[in-house]
Structure 1
Amino acid sequence: MARGELRIYLGAAPGVGKTYTMLEEAHRRAGRGTDVVIALVETHGRKHTAAMTGDLEVVARRELTYRGAAFAEMDLDAVLARRPEVAVVDELAHTNVPGTRNPKRWQDVQELLDAGIDVLTTVNVQHLESLNDVVARITGVEQRETVPDSFVRGAGQVELVDMTPEALRRRMAHGNVYRPEKVDAALGNYFRTGNLTALRELALLWLADKVEQQLGQYRADHDIEATWETRERVVVALTGGPEGDTLIRRAARIAARGKGADLLAVHVTRSDGLAGANPAELARQRVLAESLGGTYHQVVGTDVPQALLEFARGVNATQIVLGASSRGRLARMLAAGVGVTTIARSGSIDVHLVPHELAGRGRRRGPLPPALSRGRRIAGFGTALLGLPLLTAALEIGPALPLVDDILLFLVAVVGVALVGGLWPALVAAVGGSLLLNWYFTPPLGRFTIAEGQNLLALVIFVGVAVAVSWVVDTAARRTRQAALASAEAQTLATVAGSVLRGQRPLLALLDRLRETFALDSVTLLDAGVAVASVGEVRGPADAEVKADDDVLVQLRGRTLEASDRRIVEAFAAQAAVALRQERLAAEAATAKPLAEADRLRTALLAAVSHDLRTPLASAKASVASLRSSDVEFDEEDRAELLATADESLDRLDRLVANLLDMSRLQAGALGVSPVEVGAEEVVPLALDDLGPEGRTVTVRVPEDLPMLHADPGLLERILVNLLANALRYSTPDAPPMITGSTHGDTVELRVIDHGPGIPSDRWDDVFLPFQRLGDRDNHTGVGLGLALSRGLTEAMGGTLTPEETPGGGLTMILSLPIAFLGRME
């Protein structure tokens, strides 16, 4: 059975019209004779959306009851049994009510697709898993319902439903999105112009990545290697030389000219791994590329231009930035070089050759390290000086041999010298052997002349073969030593990296490991001449200094570094500069975190308090204004009702101000607590009276013989009022809240029990955060201070306030306070 096709309408924000657009597509398909049914559509009371359902067939929803409340969910089994060609399923990110087969609606959609049914569905950008935290930081509203990006990216079609922020705000102001009483709060918070602009950009960028993925798949399926300039991608090739900084900055400027262009830095490492770039320079240049918004990549290849172009074509690059050749004029005459070869093979990719200070000056390489040790070179010279005369004497004393045999024996001697001492002793042996062969074995004997041309050719071949063999042997020895050195460096770097990753302070761990590796007395990191980190005992001047960054130096004390050690120390120093930068960024983030938290709290406070302050003030003002009005004559009953309304509104306002003041005192540590002996049976009735008529619905089961509490009566009453008010808010009339009391060890537990929707256990800590209410996405029904303040007041009296799941559904808040005699003992 073929899998169904998924088409997703991605909304930049709620209210942009994605459901309406989806229904338009459903009507178009139905008009073409396709069997279309509405599995589930949420109109949210929007008349235009409701009208768009038209005469489309609607599958009846499944009615479910959860924790005393009725819910209507999509009937997945009914849709599967109906088996339409196309099913319309709204709100992909929806969380299903417990009792359904799948916890998430997108999993229901997956079953429909597996059954071969095409699906039209909708989702907003804030519900994408990868963007969830970003949207929360922008809007201040956390979205608990999310959809995996992989599921959305797997859709055959994703269509963006967009609208300018100004147009969407006009729609809201006209009442086309939310009910009138919610419009002002929504426009002032989630639907601010800045928020909508940011959400719109997130949606466009996410969809651009989706389109890029589809394009890449299409190019791969059709074996298209030619560059399609759909988006500027600038690749900068790094050799690890000092010119890399210039190339990266030039490439970044080129990328900046095209809005949204990508910058990719790449280094091609030789496949043998022996002739590599300076790791310290590469580490520093990687940091520079990433700081300019680029990415760093490393590829392996023997043919550098070919490897570079394969990488560029693989990422669909449009431009390549290379440095002008540093080789001298003679070297450029003998070989084309990387730049010229890349240009010749680049095809449709633009190649920029950027001049720099080292261009054309020749490669400044340090002296090649000797292939063999000094002892072996001396032994090689000794072997040549002693062995060749001994061989000549043996050939003179022994029976006469043809000249060819003599040459072969001398060639064996030269190879032996090369194996013992390397290139230079072998060259000496080759020259000396040719002279000895000429004097003793080539007619005319005893003279440095050659009578026959073939003998001259034989000697020339001997010298050529001897030199070639000596070069090969020396090169092999040098490569072997380089491989051993590279292996040792890699092992050391891996060990250091492991110790740094395991350490809590990467910078100090890096410096300490560097000190141990090279047996140093101390290692000090300086930034702009000031020591910022040091390990070991600092005594006397530095024995060596290694530059890690523009202003960062590493001072080494204890011994002078060998040339072979300095290369790896430079790599460590570059990593130390990166670690220093990371520690400073972490410190700045830690400093900014309290400021960000304070800003979040201030924003949430203003958003919430603006509603709770305005509502009672508006109600009280309206009542007083009505009483003062001379246009209407009120009877005594109406006047009493208006006065009661004003009195209740002002009481609400008084409680709000009291909560805010107490919370500020708690946070400042200035709350006065006066604990005394008090009975729970005395405080509970006062709290119920403070709740007004609603308090009479609460079931009380507090034993009269409960031990006395050690608590502040006023604060205890405030705690109970807040807990009971919260329980009443989420209770149904047929299941009112209950308060019970019991003794548990040395404490008295007062339990406030409700049978409402409850809260997931993984979010119990969140209910005690100030200025929010779980389940209230817009946070406009109150300041959400009740539970946060209650826990603070409880802890100020030496007690605890913890949540617990109510058997059968709901939430129980357990208030534990010490028994009175324990309070006196303390």
Structure 2
Amino acid sequence: MGRGRLRVYLGAAPGVGKTYAMLAEGARRRERGTDVVVGLVETHGRPRTAALLEGMEVVPRGTLDYRGTSFTELDAGAVIARKPQVALIDELAHTNVPGSRNTKRWQDIEEVLDAGIDVVTTVNVQHLESVNDVVEQITGVPQRETVPDEVVRRADQVELVDMAPEALRRRMAHGNIYAPEKIDAALGNYFRVGNLTALRELALLWLADKVDDQLDRYRADHGIAGTWEARERVVVALTGGPEGDTLIRRAARIADRTKGADLLAVHVARNDGLTDAGPAHLTRQRALVESLGGSYHQVVGSNVPDALLDFARGVNATQLVLGASRRGRVAQLFSRGVGVTTTAQSGTIDVHLVTHEETNQGRRWRARRTAGLPAARRDAGFAVAAAGLPLLTFLLVRLRGELSLASDILLFQAAVVGVALLGGLYPALFAAIGGSLLLNYYFTPPTGTFTVAQPEAVLQLVVYVVVGVTVSTIVDITVRRSREAARARADAEVLSTLAGDILRGEHAPIAGPGGYRALGNILERLRETYALTAVTLLERDPEAPVTPDTLRDPDRWGIVATAGGEPCTSPDAGESDILVEDGTLSLVLRGRTLPASDRRILEAFAAQAAVALRHRRLAETARQIRPLEAADKMRTALLNAVGHDLRTPLASAKAAVESLHSPDVAWSAEDRDELVATAAESLARLDHLVTNLLDMSRLQAGSLGLAPRRVAAEDVVARAIGDTGRDAVEIHVPDGLPEMVADPALLERVLANLVANAVRFNPPGEPVVITASAHGDRLELRVIDRGPGIPPADRDRVFQPFQRLGDRDNETGVGLGLALARGLAEAMDGDITPEETPGGGLTMILTMPVRRPRTPAEAPSGGEAPAAPAPGPDEGDTEADLADPRIIDRVAAWRDRIGNGNDRAGPSQ
């Protein structure tokens, strides 16, 4: 059996009826005789949805126990064993209970599809991975269950289930979606008209992209080359010239006239490697296109109009923007040009020819246009022609009568070709004309004169001259093209190396004024490539007026980065300079004057330097903002915690005290004692939470006081378990362990938090085990439980403040237990590491430094003055004796990591 087909009902918002639509589809198929079963459907107590389940076969769900509670999940194995034709499985993005066959339900559905069973499923747009963060920004509600977009895009059919926001709110108000007690909160929060409208637009746009993909596949499969104007797509053609900016902005305005239109920029590179495109212009224009929301593309082709139209038809473009020809009017008489040719062949694609400042200006002659053979070879060609042709004439005169005129002409023709190969066009033309005169005078009857008596001889001489000129021209063009190709290859190698340097050094800082690895690599590569003594990137004061004086004033320029020797302080300080970024940046070169033919590559270097500088500053801004974001996240989490977790014990204590104070009720002594105990317990919990919050604040502020001294493991363990009791904890601490160096009170709190966390998650009747062992200069305390444990991916993320992972009791604290425990441990030069308990569960390893007694080998030898005695068992160590600079460093490091948002982000137990 082949793979099953997947049909997805995509809901624009919760409650639009996607599950109802899925069940209705199943009912229709069952009426047509299709074998349909319900793998899993969540009715959420909605009677109309539940009514559609009547009469349908439902595959029993699988049951799993998790943390003492039974859950039901889709039993994919049972569905596959049943082998229906169609299975209805609700909620594609659902996360399965730990211990299930797969982590996500969409993975279960993949198995069902692989078994050849068609699946009809549902998902809401807010659960798509690509829009998850956008939905959270709009609604303020994080979506923890997501499905990769590719899973839904691979579906054979995706149908949108939509409803107007007002109609959905009426359905909510009538009680058709949520229970009555939840309606008011839902209408005032998630189900606001603005939220629903935004979700609806997201769903439509996402589905439009899916439809575009299907349309592209259909057109490709059926070989359809014509344009289908289902959606506006504007393509702008870039030549690499300065007029590209004007064309891009014009194309963007055209695209903006139609909401949802796409903007695409394309540059056609010739496949012979020879191009007049300016890399600096293309780099800048690519950034401009992307800043306007478009995309940049490059294609290769020998025929620019054909390549351009092939690309436009391939992306189903509706409009094409071209620049008016830059060629002069005389040149346009001999060739129609790219614009006119493209317009004539465009078919259904609308073509816009946009005028610009370069129109009809003609192509500028470049220095490399005359880059033929070197002057030495041309001189050698003239010399060979001047000496060789008379010598050849002398030899042929001696052989007169043995060779015909045709043979003489062929020999002269060979000489012309040789001169062309040696010296190029002009020596060959000189040889061809000179050879024709010599042939006419010495070998064409009547000889000795320039008169030609025979018409055949005239024809031979004319053909000789034409062939000579043609061969000379071809040889010269070939030489020029070879040199241009070599130059283009060298330029490509330089640009490829430049790109590699940028990629390798994008994020590594270097020393120097405003230095950065990518920017430094660019300047150093430029200096090495062209053997310069110094390359400097300068930045002009943006407040200064743009005048010739300010552009050359050293006081108006500052050094951004430099490579090589002494940096240049103004554009005039070097042999040449290149202005970029509208004149705010200048790349100054010192060492030698470079030829004009290198200008294009220099502009590419300058453009990449400007991009690297921009990226560096964006990265610096991001680094400055990151601590602010972390602090804001911390404040938000704190407010949430205060608003929920601190309010609960406060409310309990307040209710108990108000009840005791009420004159309307005569409380018995037993009731009064119970109310007082409730108030005391709630206030104790409140005191514990506030203490944790204050300690966390002290850690981050660096004001936590430490009093380190020797601490015995058995003493701190006994005090840490406190009221937890011996029944809930087993202690295995061997004798003879070295003492730890720590603040006793803080160490006790660390261990108490670890023990309380373990007891909370340990199975009933199973004790938490505490063991201790020494390893070198460290002592390990292990707190072992047999609970559900923590997945390996979350073990380094459980120490984030204000979050909890899978608490059964969500009102037991603000989620600071493990975060505070690790912070206090690291402040004392210790550490906490989670690992899996063999056989299941979690082991928290608390590692602390120890102070070992002096060994005999370390004692002073006889005759030396004895060292100061070590403190006896009753003396104790003072804070000054045991203070370790590493402890202070650990406090600062931990504070920076929490303040800057370390990688241990995520929920914690």
TM exceeding 0.5: yes
Q: Which moved more, 1:47-56 or 1:217-226?
A: 47-56
Report the CA distance between 1:175 and its aligned residue. Answer: 7.9
Q: How does 1:406-805 map to 2 (within 5 A)?
A: 406-442=408-444, 448-451=450-453, 453-503=455-505, 504=508, 505-528=517-540, 529-538=557-566, 541-550=573-582, 551-676=584-709, 698-701=728-731, 710-735=741-766, 737-745=767-775, 748-775=779-806, 782-805=813-836
Contact 2:247 2:354 in 1 (8 A): yes
| Alpha-carbon distance in structure 2 between the residues aligned to 1:17 and 1:749 | 57
* Letter aligned with residue 509 of structure 1: N
For residues 21-32 of structure 1, the aligned pairs below 5 Å read 21-32=21-32
Aligned residue type for 1:523: V
Q: CA deviation digits over 1:533-577, x for unaligned, max 9?
A: 101112672012134442332111111112343333332222222
Q: Distance in 2 between matches of 1:710 and 1:568?
A: 64
Contact 1:538 1:557 in 2 (8 A): no
In 1, distance between residues paired with 2:813 and 2:248? 53
Aligned to 2:894: none
- Further displaced range: 426-435 or 625-634: 625-634
Residues 376 and 56 of structure 1, relative CA distance in 2, 3 Å threshold: same
Work out the CA distance in 1 between the residues paired with 2:588 and 2:741.
Answer: 63
**Structure-2 residue corresponding to 1:116:** 116
Separation in 2 of the partners of 1:513 and 1:378?
Answer: 37
Q: TM-score, normalised by structure 2?
A: 0.82
- Structure 1: how far apart are the matches of 2:228 and 2:847? 69
The Cα shift of 1:327 comes to 0.9
CA shift for structure 1 position 661: 1.3
Residue identity in the other structure for 2:519: L
Closer/same/farther in 2, CA of residues 194 and 687 from structure 1, 3 Å limit: farther
1:236 Cα deviation after fit = 1.0
The match for 2:550 is none
Report SS of the residue matched to 2:7. strand
> How far does the alpha carbon of each residue in 1:23-45 deviate from its partner, in whole angstroms, 9 at most, with x for none?
33333333444332211223456
- Which stretch of structure 1 is more off in the superposition, 611-620 or 62-71? 62-71
Q: In the superposition, relative to structure 1, how do residues 723 and 23 fare at CA in structure 2: closer, same or farther (>3 Å)?
A: farther
Distance in 1 (alpha carbons) for counterparts of 2:312 and 2:436: 53
What is residue 243 of structure 1 aligned with on the other side? Answer: 243
Indicate the residue corresponding to 1:375 in structure 2: 376
Structure 1 stretch 240-249 or stretch 488-497: which is displaced more?
Answer: 488-497
Separation of aligned partners in 2, 1:750 and 1:190: 47
Residue in structure 2 matched with residue 262 of structure 1 by the alignment: 262
Identity percentage over the alignment?
Answer: 65
Relative distance call for 1:743 and 1:272 in structure 2 (3 A) is closer
CA contact (8 A) 2:535 2:567 kept: no
Aligned match of 2:59: 59
Q: Which amino acid aligns with 2:315?
A: V
Shift in Å, 1:5: 1.7
Matched-pair contact (CA < 8 Å) for 1:803–1:813: yes
1:111-260 alignment, distance < 5 Å = 111-125=111-125, 127-130=127-130, 146-162=146-162, 201-260=201-260
> Secondary structure of the equivalent of 1:514?
helix
Task: Please tell me the residue identity of whatever aligns with 1:699.
Answer: V
Q: Is the 8 A contact 1:508 1:534 kept in 2?
A: yes
In the alignment, the residues of structure 2 paired with residue 5 and residue 85 of structure 1 have an alpha-carbon distance, to the nearest angstrom, of 10
Alpha carbons of structure 1 residues 700 and 136: separation in structure 2 relative to 1, 3 Å: farther
Structure 2 vs 1, CA of residues 750 and 316 (structure 1 numbering), >3 Å: closer, same or farther? same
Give 1:734 deviation, angstroms: 4.1
Deviations 1:159-204 (A, max 9, x none): 3345677887888898877789989998999888887776655444
1:18-57 alignment, distance < 5 Å: 18-43=18-43, 49-50=49-50, 52-57=52-57
CA contact (8 A) 1:189 1:607 kept: no
1:813: how far off?
Answer: 2.2
Describe the superposition over 1:289-329 as per-residue Cα deviations: whole angstroms up to 9, x where unpaired.
22222222111111110110000110111111110001111
CA contact (8 A) 1:679 1:706 kept: no
Specify the alignment match of 2:356 in structure 1.
Answer: 356
Q: For residues 642 and 814 of structure 1, do their structure 2 counterparts lie closer, same or farther at Cα, with a shift above 3 Å needed?
A: same
Write the letter of the residue equivalent to 2:492.
Answer: A
The root-mean-square deviation of aligned C-alpha atoms, in Å, is 3.5
Equivalent residue of 1:322, what SS? strand
Cross-structure match for 1:331: 331
Cα separation, 1, equivalents of 2:630 and 2:191: 22
The equivalent residue for 1:806 is 837
Name the SS for the 1:766 alignment partner.
coil
Aligned to 1:296: 296
Q: Distance in 1 between matches of 2:477 and 2:24?
A: 75
CA distance in 2, matches of 1:454, 1:429: 22
Structure 2: distance between partners of 1:385 and 1:9 = 87
Residues 267 and 192 (structure 1), Cα distance of their counterparts in 2 relative to 1, 3 Å cut: same
Distance 2:151 2:692 in 1: 45
Comparing 173-182 with 22-31, which one deviates more in the overlay?
A: 173-182
SS at match of 2:245: helix
Deviation of residue 346 (structure 1)?
Answer: 0.7
The residue aligned with 1:74 is 74
- Aligned partner letter, 2:342: T
Distance 1:290 1:73, change over 3 A: same
The question of whether the paired residues in 2 share the 8 Å contact of 1:609 and 1:782 is answered with no
Give 1:676 deviation, angstroms: 4.7
1:382-393 equivalent positions in 2, closer than 5 A: 382-393=383-394
Note if contact 2:93-2:105 (Cα within 8 Å) is conserved in structure 1.
Answer: yes
Equivalent-residue separation in structure 2 for 1:410 and 1:778 (angstroms): 105
Deviation of 1:621 after TM superposition, in Å, equals: 3.3
Residue deviations 1:606-633 (CA, integer Å, cap 9, x gap): 2333111332333333334444445555
CA drift of 1:488 comes to 2.2
Structure 1 residues 128, 353: CA separation in 2 closer, same or farther (over 3 Å shift)? same
Q: How many pairs does the alignment contain? A: 822
- Where 2:370 maps in the other structure, the secondary structure is coil
What are the superposed Cα offsets for residues 36-68 of structure 1, whole Å, 9 maximum, x if unpaired? 221122345666655553332211122344676
Residue ranges of structure 1 left out of the alignment (5+ in a row): none
Q: CA deviation at 1:377?
A: 0.3
Moved more, 494-503 or 237-246: 494-503
Shift of 1:357: 0.7
Deviation, structure 1 residue 220 = 1.5
Moved more, 226-235 or 344-353: 226-235
Aligned AA (1:651): A
Relative distance call for 1:749 and 1:605 in structure 2 (3 A) is same
Stretch of structure 1 that moved more, 447-456 or 720-729:
447-456
Q: 1:661 to 1:589 in 2, by over 3 A?
A: same
- Report the counterpart of residue 274 of structure 2 in structure 1: 274
Report the residue type matching 2:630 in the other structure. E
Taking structure 1 as reference, are residues 510 and 747 closer, same or farther at Cα in structure 2, changes over 3 Å only?
closer
